[in-house]
Amino acid sequence: MRTIGMVGGMSWESSAVYYRLANELVRERLGGLHSARLLLASVDFAEVERLQVAGEWERAGELLAEVARGVEAGGADLLLLCTNTMHKVADQVQAAVGIPLLHLADTTAAAVRAAGLGTVGLLGTAFTMEQDFYRDRLASHGLRVLVPDAADRAEVHRVVYDELCLGVVRPESREAYRGVIERLVAAGAQGVVLGCTEIELLVGEGDSPVPVFPTTRLHVEAAVTAALDPVG
C-alpha cells in the first residue's frame, strides 16, 4: 500500500471526512484491521481565507506548496489537496513536488462521464463557481457546466463559510440548497457536482431530483484505488 499525502484544514471539518473515508475504504477493500497509510498536514484556514479574499492566490499557492513539500518529505507517494477552491493553485502545488497530485476535478469529471451525463450544475464557493479554473477543468472532459444565478451563488457561498466551515448544519440552509439545485435542474442540469468539500455535510442524493457527485468521496475513492494499485 502506498502512502496518501493530504493537505487539509480548508476547512478541518471536511478534512476530517477525508481522513475517515480513506480509512473506511481501505478497511472495506482489504478487510480486518487494515487502515490507510496516510500523512495529513492541516493548515490554518484563517490564513488561507484571508489570502482568498485579498486575491493573493500566488501567495496562497506558495503556502500550500510549502506544506505539500513537507508531506512529500514525510514519505507520501501521492498527493491530495483536500479542498475544491484551492485547486485554483493546483498547478503551482504540483510543480513544487515530485509526486503526483490527484486533481479533484478530474476524478469528479470521470465519475460524471461514467454516469453517461453531459451537463452538470456546479455548487461551490463563489471562487469555484465564478472563476474559470474549476469549470474549465470539468469542461476539458467534455462536460457542459451550469452555475446558479448571482443571488443563489451568494447564498451557497455564505452557507459554506458562515456555517459549514464552522460545523453548523441548519435545516433552513438545506432547504435553500434544495431550491438552488431545483433551479439548476430546471436550467438543464442532468446532475449536480457538490464542488465544495463542506457541502457534503449538508446535502446528498436525497436532496436532489438528479444524481449528485460528492467530490470528497470521489476524490478519496480515487486516492485509495491508486494507493492499493500494485503497479502504481
Q: Is 196 among the residues known to form the active site?
A: yes
- Quote the cell numbers at residue 141: 472532459
Exactly one of 82, 83, 128, 197 is catalytic; name it: 83
Residues 178 and 203: beta-carbon distance below 8 Å: yes
Exactly one of 82, 85, 165, 196 is catalytic; name it: 196
What whole-number distance in Å separates Cα of residue 219 and Cα of residue 103? 8
Q: Is 83 among the residues known to form the active site?
A: yes
What whole-number distance in Å separates Cα of residue 134 and Cα of residue 198? 16
Instruction: Provide the β-strand partners of residue 212.
Output: 192
Look-up of cell digits 507520501: 76
What is the 3 state secondary structure string of the chain?
Answer: CCCEEEEECCCHHHHHHHHHHHHHHHHHHHCCCCCCCEEEEECCHHHHHHHHHHCCHHHHHHHHHHHHHHHHHCCCCEEEECCCHHHHHHHHHHHHCCCCECCHHHHHHHHHHHCCCCEEEEECCHHHHHCHHHHHHHHCCCCEEECCCHHHHHHHHHHHHHCHHHCCCCHHHHHHHHHHHHHHHHCCCCEEEECCHHHHHCCCHHHCCCCEEEHHHHHHHHHHHHHHCCCC
* Residues noted as catalytic: 83, 196
